Amino acid sequence: MARNARMASLVPAILIAFAISACNRIPLYKEAPLNRDGDIAIGMKTLKEKVPEFYTFDLDGQRINFFVVGINGNVQSYFDACAMCYPEKLGYRVEGKEIVCRACNLRYTADELKTGKGSCHPIPLPGQIKNGFYIINKDAIKTGAKYF
């Protein structure tokens, strides 16, 4: 009987924890790899052609999400935030070969990311290829804090 009472008292706590985590609409991504200078350094060999790889950068407890994608031998990176829809704080998701704005549901192929569609487009995040890595300067990523 005592065991059943303990189990019954745990159920509400478990349900509350589940509800809180289920309501979190901001996706959780893997931590961005850093080099010894504190800049983001993503190995070029880890990138798949036209498949975005999502990361998060922790800035004093604030998550700044972004994605990197290889396109025709080049690399592009963007904040996981739409220029128009960023106040919703939803970012993008991948469906098949398309990148989809979670707020307005506009869809892009990787080749369309730079131009976007109308006012909906991902916010560019500058980076450069250096010694087999795609490097995003820590100061560049910090400029995106206002979108998150």
What mean pLDDT, rounded, does the chain reach?
A: 85
Query: Which CATH number do you get for residue 112?
Result: 2.102.10.10
pTM score:
0.81
Contact between 125 and 138 (Cβ < 8 Å): no
Q: With cut-offs at 50, 70 and 90, classify the pLDDT of residue 25.
A: low
Q: What is the pLDDT of residue 22?
A: 40
Exposed (0-12), middle (13-18) or buried (19+): which is 21, by Cβ within 10 Å? exposed
Domain count, the chain: 1
- What is the arithmetic mean of pLDDT over 22-42? 84
How does pLDDT run across 90-140, given as a tens digit for each residue? 999 999 999 999 999 999 999 999 888 878 899 999 999 999 999 999 999
Which two structure tokens, joined as six digits, stand for 76? Answer: 């592009």
How does pLDDT run across 71-101, given as a tens digit for each residue? 988 999 999 999 999 999 999 999 999 999 9
- What is the arithmetic mean of pLDDT over 51-78? 95
Q: With cut-offs at 50, 70 and 90, classify the pLDDT of residue 12.
A: very low
Q: Is residue 14 part of a domain?
A: no
Closest CA relative to residue 40, chosen from 126, 123, 131, 138? 138
Q: Is residue 63 part of a domain?
A: yes
pLDDT > 90 in the chain, percent: 74
Give the number of other CB atoms < 10 A from CB of residue 106: 20
Closest CA relative to residue 142, chosen from 128, 122, 125? 125
Q: Provide the residue range defining the domain that includes 109.
A: 27-147
Q: Is residue 143 part of a domain?
A: yes
115-135 as b/e, with b when 16 or more CB fall inside 10 Å?
A: ebeeebbbbebebeeeeebbb
pLDDT surpassing 90 at residue 51: yes
